[in-house]
Amino acid sequence: EPEVTQTPSHQVTQMGQEVILRCVPISNHLYFYWYRQILGQKVEFLVSFYNNEISEKSEIFDDQFSVERPDGSNFTLKIRSTKLEDSAMYFCAISRDSYNSPLHFGNGTRLTVT
């Protein structure tokens, strides 16, 4: 299974601060995703990214969120001004293509907003 490394494993931040979550896929995959899981709830899709642009996003992914792959390697999720309700596990995932190809997940970053 391809490796997906996420950093940091745990991030604590104050409400209103900006956070950047990072994902480094080891092998060469085309599609990148962010999912999140609020404690006790299901894993929810946030955004998919292909060819340096967003291919789809959910209603959760509002103007406070952005993604980019600045150096062709790291895939980042930025939350501009964090809110308490942003506290969750954030999972990066990759796949070879968008159809008929399973997603491989990272270990996740636990974000705690205080």
Q: Which helix or strand (DSSP H or E) is residue 19 part of?
A: strand 19-25
What one-letter code names the amino acid at 10?
H
Q: Residue written as tokens 């604590």?
A: 12
Tokens representing residue 82 in the block: 């964090």
Q: Does 109 bind other proteins (CB under 8 A)?
A: no
Site string for other proteins, 14-53 (x = CB under 8 A): -----------------x-x-x-----xxxxx--x-x---
Of 11, 72, 6, nearest in space to 34 by CA: 6
Q: Does 102 bind other proteins (CB under 8 A)?
A: yes
Query: Which residues here bind other proteins, judged by CB under 8 A?
Result: 1, 4, 31, 33, 35, 41-45, 48, 50, 55-56, 58, 91, 98-100, 102-108
